[in-house]
Amino acid sequence: MTALPSLDRLDAYVPVGEESRDPYNRKEEAPLLLLVAAFASEAGLRAAFAAPALCEALEALPEGVEATVSALSRTFYAPSQDGRLDAPVSYVVRYTRPAADEALFVRNYVDSHPSTQAHLPGIRAVMCYFPLRDLALAGWPARDYLIGNEVAFDSVEAFNAAMLSPVREELRAHFREFPAYSGINSHFLMRRRSLGADVGEA
């Protein structure tokens, strides 16, 4: 992976061992591993998709391991507008298509959720992820995401406390008012570990 051009950071996410206590989302079986590769620019991401190193790394996965590769742009919101992602526990949320009016759904989500999530007790970072639908890696499937969201905390205990706050109730009220949506959404509490910053220079 260090051969990928313009790679700024590589983060590995694995399921937390402790119990998460979001009162509104059922317990789901989380993926064994999420890798998030961050690039200095969209041009760098596109160059990485064209480079052989990415396919070579995927082809080296053990037999029987299934992987998907999705290209997304990431936007940070308060309190993490500087792009810092230091807190190690993340609630990784994904909405997959379809929605009756996808542009309206995404706009409503961005207008209502990040600004409210910023008030969750103990919140350290708020992000949304937007699919780049014209970018795909040949031979590897992508998830049909509509929008993604991630909030980060210092610990599972801090996350669980935030889920019992009035702000969580406000977020649920926003959810009930979302535009028509018939896709699937997932919520995974994950522990994130940085595998390096500026690893593209190694």
Question: Among residues of the chain, what percentage have pLDDT more than 70?
Answer: 95
pLDDT at position 15: 96
**pLDDT tens per residue across span 20-71:** 899 999 878 899 999 999 998 999 999 999 988 888 888 998 988 899 999 9
User: How would DSSP label each residue in 5-60?
Assistant: TTEEEEEEEEE-SSPP--TTS------S-EEEEEESSHHHHHHHHHSHHHHHHHHT
State both tokens at 45: 């991401």
> Model confidence over 162-190: pLDDT tens digits?
999 999 999 999 999 999 999 999 999 99
Q: Name the average pLDDT for the chain.
A: 92
**Would you state the structure tokens that stand for residue 180, as one six-digit string?**
């028509």
Task: Work out the average pLDDT over 67-94.
Answer: 96
Q: Measured between alpha carbons, how far is 36 from 152 in angstroms, rounded to an integer? A: 14
Q: Which two tokens stand for residue 141?
A: 């499937």
> What's the confidence (pLDDT) of residue 1?
52
Looking up tokens 């690039």 gives 39
Evaluate whether 34 touches 116 at the Cβ level (below 8 Å): no
Task: Give the other-Cβ count within 10 Å of 66's Cβ.
Answer: 8
For 15-31+71-196, CATH gives 3.30.70.100
Pairing verdict, β 125-131 and 72-77: antiparallel
Any residues with CB less than 8 A from the CB of 96 and at least 6 apart, and which?
A: 143, 144, 145, 146, 183, 184, 185
Residue 70: both structure tokens together: 């999705």
pLDDT (tens digit per residue) in 126-149:
999 999 999 999 999 999 999 999
Please state, in angstroms and rounded to a whole number, the distance separating the CA atoms of residues 159 and 172.
Answer: 16
Q: What is the DSSP string of 61-118?
A: SPTT-------EEEEEETT-TT-----SEEEEEEEES-BTTHHHHHHHHHHHHHHHHT
Return the axis-axis angle of helices 166-176 and 156-163, rounded to nearest 10°.
Answer: 60
